Every structure is written in structure tokens, then in C-alpha cells.
Chains A and B, each alone.
Chain A
Amino acid sequence: MSKKHIKTTVNNVEHEILVDSTWTLLETLRDHLGLTGTKEGCSNGNCGACTVMIDGKSSCSCLVLAPEIDGRKVTTVEGLADHGHLSPVQDAFVENSGLQCGFCTPGFMIAATALLNENPHPTENEIRLKLAGNLCRCTGYDKIVRSVQDAAERLSKS
């Protein structure tokens, strides 16, 4: 194991971090940057609880090594709100009760944000397809899908 000195931008804040070559991005965010909004679920890419954006692309942070993000931009759920104002996706989840226990919610919000950045007007099928990598074990999928549909409407009006 070796230490690597990396520079990365997390939620628009630049960080210089000394990381172990074996740390995952998930561990780095939670245990070393204190960004515990990103959750650890399955740790093998099936559940999407740890979803973050890397250079705008949704990714499972449990399957990324810390040194891989040298020079990259990472967005976590903590980076969605703008100076304390929730993003349209966050507002839509709150108002449509798009959560039950809340553990999967950060991953869903990141996945929904990445989806709407690329496709501002997804059909219900497209939403269900692109969120298939995020599991809600409370099984509250319908309200999550409605939240994303509402977020799309909010974004188109903003």
C-alpha cells in the first residue's frame, strides 16, 4: 500500500488529500472528508446508495479508488443545495414524500440530478430505467418516480 497525494474538487471545494492507494472514493468521502451523506449499502455496485457524480456522470463511489479521482470533480448529495437552498430535485423529493427511511435518498437524488441534466424531459419508463441501479428497500418507488417527474417540471419552469 502506498500513499498518493491527490487534488480533487468535491462540491466545488478544492481538496488536496493524502490517500491510501486502497481507499475507495466512498471511504474517502465519508471517513476522511466527513461527507457522510453518501451511504454505504452493498459495496459492490448493485444498490446505488453510494452514487455520486464524477465529472457530471453518476457513478458508484464504492467501485472507484481514491487515487482515480485525482483531477476530477466530484458532486455528492451535500453539493446539491445552493447556499442552503434545496435544489429542485431535493424540493421535489420533500414535497412528494419521495423517501421513507431515507437511506437510499442521497443516491436517488444524485441519480435523478444526473438523469435530468442529460435528459430534462424523461418519460416514466426512462426514469425507471435510469434509476434501476438505485434500490429502495422500503420499496417506495412510485413516490420516488413521481418526485423525479415533479423535479423535471420544476426545472423546466425555473
Chain B
Amino acid sequence: MPNFDYEAPTSLKTALGVLSGNGENRPLAGGTDVIDQLKNNRRNADLVVDLKRIPELLTLELDEGRLRIGAAVSCTEVHNLTSENDCFPALSEASELIGSIHIQNRASIGGNVCNAAPSADTIPALLVHEAIAHTASATGGREIPLIDFFAGPGQTVLQKGEILKELVLPVPSSNTASAYLRFIPRNEMDIAVAGVGSLIEVDPSSNIVQKARIALASVAPTPVRAYTAENFLEGSTIDNPTIEKAADLAVEAAVPITDVRGSAEYRKELVKVLTKRTLNICRERLA
């Protein structure tokens, strides 16, 4: 392990002061990505700032029409809350897919976002649920729609001394369903070859789609939304031909690479299949 110092401030103000100091100051939440990256020199640090003793970053609240997820809250906690309340099903599903239960117990949703892997499982789920990233820094904070948070593989728009404080998601109406699916060549413990999150909100009297959100993982340098497919779905009724067409259109948003996990062509086919499947799951959940 390379050399670094370690601090675990107990207030957000102290943490932001420390993070804005000279040197490479690396925020730490669950550590399941960062510690491995430090060991392998894929990220460096002069100082590791453990955020798990800061109350604001450990908040997990579902009230007043919003879900607030503090940046250091674990995947397990988010999975438990969302599954018990039967809301945010895509997020509930994605937070149970990251690594093993041992990883989910430590890894935070905020860390999954800030690690900014194109394959991150929770990001499509957060995107379809319209998460806003609330940041904090010594000079103030920003509210960034999550789709604008990513700058490239492993890169975010966070500036030096700025951290993700929390993710805020509006509670969907009761006429809304969402789902997240990824493809991996085994059942567990792998990185998405492609992942798709979908959300559908319908008008309960006419069954016409009022809102459609489709987000894709592992098929571009950052997570992406499939806007053309979303626009096509809005105003339609959900039937088999509509789902087929939306799945074809979702592929247009994918600009995948060929690598050890799969070829670009294969990933595009996966986007089509997973979009179809997630939309069908949404349809079943709305029925």
C-alpha cells in the first residue's frame, strides 16, 4: 500500500476544510473501490478523508415526497429501505447487484456514483428516478442533475475540495414503475456487459405513458439516457409493438466499445433485449 495519511472528521465543515487543503485529498466512503485503487496505484492520495463519521452524509430519509441518500450510506441500507417501502424498484434491484453482500454492506451508493465507472449498476437506476446530486465544498454547494455529473470513465464534474453530499430523488407517483437489469455471463459477482434501467409513468385513466426514462450502463464513456426512445414512448400506450420499437430506438443511444467483456455489436443487442425486458417488467408492475 502506498503511503498516505488518514483523517475521519466528524463534521462536514471540518471535512471540507481538510479536503480543500494542498495535496491529493481523497474522500473515502465504503472504500471498496478506493482502497483497491490505492493498492494498485490506479488512484493516488496524500490524505484519505473518511466521510463515515459525518452525520449529513449518513442520512437516509424517505419523507416529504423525496428520498435523500447521504453520500456515505451503504448499498445494503438503501436496498433495505427501498425494498421495504416498495418504492424505487430499479434502485432496490441495482443496489443488490454490486459485488457480494460483503461489498454491499460497505460500498455506498454515493461512492458508486463518484467512482463514475461506465458500468456502475446504481447509476441507470438513479438516472431514471431523476436523482439530483447535491454537492458541498468550502465555498458552497451545487445541485447537479445526475446526467450532468459524469465527465468520462472514472471522471466526474466535482472540483477540488468538492464532494457529493447527498442524492435526492423525487418519490414517484403510484402510477409509476421502474426496473433495472444487467447482463453478466454468470449469476453474481461480475461487472455489467450492459445494463438498462427503465421507468414508466402512465395516466391511470387512459394508460397513456406520461413519462418514460431509459438509462444505459456500460455502452458509452459515461452512463447515458436513451432520449429518442423516451420521447417515442411518451404519449403512447405500452403494448408489444411499442416496446419493440422503443428497444430499437434505445440502441441508438449506445456507443459501446469492444473489449474483453463483449463486442460493440453484442452490447447493442443487449441494450435492445434489456430495454425490452425492463419495459415489460414495468408493464407487469403497473398492471
Contacts and interface: CB of A to CB of B under 8 A. Distances in A.
B102 A67 contact: no
A14 to B, nearest CB: 19
Query: Which DSSP category, helix, strand, loop or mixed, fits chain B's interface?
Result: loop
A130 B101 contact: yes
Contact of B31 (A21, A22, A23, A68): A68
Contacts of A60: 32, 100, 102-103, 106
Contacts of B100: 45, 48, 60, 132-134
A58 B102 CA distance: 5
A79 B39 CA distance: 28
Interface residues on B, range: 20 to 34
A133 B101 CA distance: 7
Contacts of A46: 189
B188 interface: yes
Contact of A21 (B5, B39, B102): B5
Contacts of A38: none
A20 B101 CA distance: 28
A63 B36 contact: yes
Given A63-B32, A65-B35, A65-B48, A51 B1 contact: no
Contact of B99 (A2, A23, A57, A133): A133
Contacts of A57: 76, 105-106
B39 A45 contact: no
B48 A63 contact: no
A115 B101 CA distance: 9
B258 to A, nearest CB: 24
B28 to A, nearest CB: 8
A111 interface: yes
A11 interface: no
B174 interface: no
B188 A129 contact: yes
B189 A21 contact: no
A107 to B, nearest CB: 9
Interface residues on A, range: 20 to 34
A17 interface: no
A44 B187 CA distance: 20
Given A59-B106, A130-B101, A64 B6 contact: no
Contact of B35 (A48, A64, A134): A64
Contacts of A132: 100-101, 187-189
B58 to A, nearest CB: 13
A1 interface: yes
Contact of B5 (A1, A54, A64): A1
A24 B35 CA distance: 9
Contacts of B32: 45, 60, 63
Interface in A130-154: 130, 132-134
B102 A48 contact: yes
A70 interface: yes
Interface string B34-59: 01100110000000101010000000
B2 interface: yes
Interface string B18-34: 00000000001001100
Contacts of B205: none
Nearest to B52: A68
A70 B50 CA distance: 12
A94 to B, nearest CB: 23
A87 interface: no
B8 interface: yes
B102 A59 contact: yes
Interface of A: 1-2, 4, 21-24, 43-46, 48, 51, 54, 57-60, 62-65, 67-68, 70, 111, 114-115, 129-130, 132-134
Given A24-B1, A45-B99, A63-B32, 19 more contacts: A1-B3, A2-B6, A23-B1, A44-B36, A44-B39, A45-B103, A48-B102, A57-B106, A59-B105, A60-B103, A62-B35, A63-B35, A65-B35, A68-B31, A129-B187, A132-B100, A133-B99, A133-B188, A133-B189
4 pairs of A and B residues whose beta carbons are closest in the complex: A133-B100, A21-B6, A132-B188, A57-B105
25 contacts: A1-B4, A1-B5, A21-B48, A22-B1, A23-B1, A45-B32, A45-B100, A46-B189, A54-B105, A57-B105, A59-B102, A60-B103, A63-B35, A63-B36, A64-B31, A64-B35, A64-B106, A65-B6, A65-B28, A65-B35, A67-B6, A68-B52, A132-B100, A133-B100, A133-B188
